[in-house]
Amino acid sequence: MNSPWKGKAKATNQDYDDLRPTITYRHILSNNLGVRDPLRVVALCDSDAFYAACERVRLELDPNVPIVVQQWESIIAVSYPAREFGISRMDKIKDAKKKCPNLLAVHVATYKEGESEPSYWKDVDTRTHKVSLDLYRRESNKIITMFKEALPIGEVEKASIDEAFIDFTRPVREKLLERYPYLVQVPADAPNGMDSPLPPPPPIKWDDLGTVLLPEGTDSAGEQSNIDVDGGTTWHDVALSIAAELMRKIREDIHSKLGYTTSAGIARNKFLAKLCASYKKPNSQTILRNQAIPSYLHPLPFQKIRFLGGKLGDALAKEYDVSTVGDLLTISLDEIQSKFGENALWIYELLRGIDRTEVKEKSALFKSMLASKNLPKPITQPLDGHQWIRVLAAELALRLNDARESMPTLWPKTIVLHARKGYETSRSKQATFPFVRNVTVDVIATAADKLWKELTGDSKTVNITSVQLAFTGLEKAEMGQKSIEGFFATRDIQRTFLKRSREEDEPLVSLENTDLAVPKSSDIEAVSFQCTRCRKTIALREGQATGGPSEVAQRLATLRSEHGDFHFAQDLANSNKGSVPVPRGSSLKRQKVEPKGIAKFFIKK
């Protein structure tokens, strides 16, 4: 019990005063207490040696084979068996092979000039190939899908290619009430009704649930696991143990179905979950009980903590001449705020294990997709660019079509080509992406080739060292029950597009005119309308303009719709020729379209 924070017991008690909150019936019975829920449980689950594991699974290798993944001459992932030979990401391939002569080094898949699919080529050359991470993205999606399927009422937030935060609060709450039905009813003799504290929690068997961090800073499992610390188990510990059960089951399923081992951290918030996820790797999970938070955090060098590294960490270290989290606890909030501003409250709280950021699924849709290549040998002849454009187009085609498997109506609004010339400023060109049914390598390459020509202009020679091709404004068109095959077939689809456009109050690229399908209320009695695209006045024929107002409105609506179809067909014809329709009078032209997402970085002001 020689924990360094023991000596500052007084300060610590104040600093960590929320470790044993009183949990009442109101807490356990309320539906959504969000980030302040005293029974909140969050996990971070990270895959072990991820790229190496993907290659091992792909090659159906024994898990004990030492394997590394290589990108050109560097190592980017090291399997755990290879780590036993002392190999790390820092090693050069040559040195790694010296450490382990049986080492299997797999080069990442690459796109090769002239090929539309990435592959594992015998010889790779950065002058003619481009790295493909598609396998890892696909495997990553499979893992995320398993998290989501296992936890329909839990929130899953992908945090990187091989890790995700999972909010277990709701699934755990459901299990708590199921297992301890006496919690569902406030007892008649409860002194404060809903605000009465819950009865004492049951003892917990931590066996097999993972590594449980204890206040002494030791870890335990098995026989030591039922030790009561500081007055014993809390309902939050019960919640953690249920989350650990669920997490373990999901990790086992991922292992048996997909072949990947993972490591998880389970705690009361994202910051702490991430912090303890790598406590014991590989293939393990670590549980940080609230009571263990102070002793776990206290000795950590704060500059090792992600948010407190870098310049901020340097500044803190310099200002206070300290190195651990514990050292920083003696500094008051006023003091930190006077030096680092009002916002420094989050530093103060983080040091005390408080983090109220939500686990929230980012939009399932990445608004942009980017393929890029740094050229070891600059492009000097404008014509040579087309080969690279095809390579980048192949990657975008594969990624878009992959994404369309789960979102068949995913549509990129814009294609952007960006090139850096030596050390000069970068240049870019963009265009509306043609509206075609099948997004093939050819379609993308044709659109990009045009941009390349615009970008290089009449230059006889160029000096381009980096090329990037991106889709921006990727969005899901609401297609209702229609299949992708019917995409362009019917007017209904067109209306759906129009509807989307209106709802989002944002111009649509090919069909931006929302007035075409549905008359505005002021038009109800009108017998003609002006098309906002071609500016023509389109009127009902004589005789059609008679009857009740609703009949006239109906006919007018039909006329608008037919006229819309005419433009639609024209757009299609244009886009199939590879040219990009920006119709006359379109809202795109009238309204300046602000670049979004990654596009911001491409478009020259």
Q: Where on the chain is the footprint of ligand TTP (CB under 6 A)? A: 46-51, 76-77, 161-162, 281-282
Please report how close the Cβ of residue 119 comes to ligand TTP at its closest, in angstroms.
Answer: 19
Q: What is the largest CA-CA distance in the chain?
A: 97
Nearest-CA neighbor of 26 among 35, 41, 38? 38
Q: Which is nearer to Ca ion, 37 or 48 (CB)?
A: 48
Spacing of C-alpha 492 from chain mean position = 33
Please report how close the Cβ of residue 306 comes to Ca ion at its closest, in angstroms.
Answer: 12
Q: What is the spatial distance between Cα 190 and Cα 188, in angstroms, rounded to a whole number?
A: 6
Which of ligand TTP, Ca ion, none is residue 99 near (CB under 5 to 8 Å by kind)?
Answer: none
Which of Ca ion, ligand TTP, none is residue 571 near (CB under 5 to 8 Å by kind)?
Answer: none
Q: Which is nearer to ligand TTP, 16 or 51 (CB)?
A: 51
Q: What is the spatial distance between Cα 219 and Cα 210, in angstroms, rounded to a whole number?
A: 10
Nearest-CA neighbor of 340 among 317, 322, 306? 317
Which of Ca ion, ligand TTP, none is residue 475 near (CB under 5 to 8 Å by kind)?
Answer: none
Please report how close the Cβ of residue 300 comes to ligand TTP at its closest, in angstroms.
Answer: 18
DSSP-assigned letters across all residues of 318-331: HHHT--BHHHHTTS
Q: Which is nearer to ligand TTP, 77 or 599 (CB)?
A: 77
Q: Which is nearer to Ca ion, 37 or 46 (CB)?
A: 46
Please report how close the Cβ of residue 208 comes to Ca ion at its closest, in angstroms.
Answer: 23
**Residues in region 343-382 near Ca ion by CB under 5 A:** none
Nearest-CA neighbor of 171 among 263, 272, 247? 247
**Residues in region 48-77 near Ca ion by CB under 5 A:** 50
**Residues in region 11-50 near Ca ion by CB under 5 A:** 46-47, 50
Nearest-CA neighbor of 494 among 590, 566, 433, 439? 566
Q: Which is nearer to ligand TTP, 53 or 156 (CB)?
A: 53
Q: Which is nearer to ligand TTP, 111 or 136 (CB)?
A: 136
Which of Ca ion, ligand TTP, none is residue 70 near (CB under 5 to 8 Å by kind)?
Answer: none
Please report how close the Cβ of residue 47 comes to ligand TTP at its closest, in angstroms.
Answer: 6
Please report how close the Cβ of residue 57 comes to ligand TTP at its closest, in angstroms.
Answer: 13
Residue 353 near residue 297, CB atoms below 8 Å? yes
Q: Which is nearer to ligand TTP, 255 or 499 (CB)?
A: 255
Q: Which is nearer to ligand TTP, 70 or 575 (CB)?
A: 70
Tokens standing for residue 504: 């989002």
Residue 155 near residue 167, CB atoms below 8 Å? yes
CA angle 519-524-527, nearest 5°? Answer: 95
Q: What is the spatial distance between Cα 143 and Cα 53, in angstroms, rounded to a whole number?
A: 13
Please report how close the Cβ of residue 10 comes to ligand TTP at its closest, in angstroms.
Answer: 39
Residue 139 in the binding site for Ca ion (CB under 5 A): no
Instruction: Tell whether the torsion through CA atoms of 552, 555, 556 and 557 is positive or negative.
Output: positive
Q: Which is nearer to ligand TTP, 134 or 245 (CB)?
A: 134
Backbone angles phi, psi at 542, to 5 degrees: -55, 145
Q: What is the spatial distance between Cα 492 and Cα 509, in angstroms, rounded to a whole number?
A: 18
Please report how close the Cβ of residue 252 comes to ligand TTP at its closest, in angstroms.
Answer: 18
Please report how close the Cβ of residue 199 comes to Ca ion at its closest, in angstroms.
Answer: 41
- Tell me 365's DSSP state: S
DSSP-assigned letters across all residues of 117-162: S-B--SS--TTTEEE--HHHHHHHHHHHHHHHHH-TTSEEEEEETT
Nearest-CA neighbor of 245 among 155, 176, 143? 176
Nearest-CA neighbor of 67 among 109, 92, 97, 98? 97
Q: Which is nearer to Ca ion, 21 or 259 (CB)?
A: 259
- Tell me 593's DSSP state: P
Q: Which is nearer to Ca ion, 46 or 327 (CB)?
A: 46
**Residues in region 142-181 near Ca ion by CB under 5 A:** 162-163
Q: Which is nearer to Ca ion, 49 or 267 (CB)?
A: 49
For tokens 């391939």, the residue is 93
CA Rg value for the chain: 30
The β-bridge partners of 373 are: 467
Which of ligand TTP, Ca ion, none is residue 515 near (CB under 5 to 8 Å by kind)?
Answer: none
Tokens standing for residue 525: 């009695």
Which of ligand TTP, Ca ion, none is residue 282 near (CB under 5 to 8 Å by kind)?
Answer: ligand TTP
Please report how close the Cβ of residue 133 comes to ligand TTP at its closest, in angstroms.
Answer: 8
- Tell me 602's DSSP state: T
Please report how close the Cβ of residue 48 comes to Ca ion at its closest, in angstroms.
Answer: 6
Strands (DSSP E) contained in 48-87 are 67-71, 74-78
Please report how close the Cβ of residue 379 comes to Ca ion at its closest, in angstroms.
Answer: 35
Nearest-CA neighbor of 67 among 51, 78, 54? 78
Chain residues that interact with Ca ion, rule: CB under 5 A: 46-47, 50, 162-163
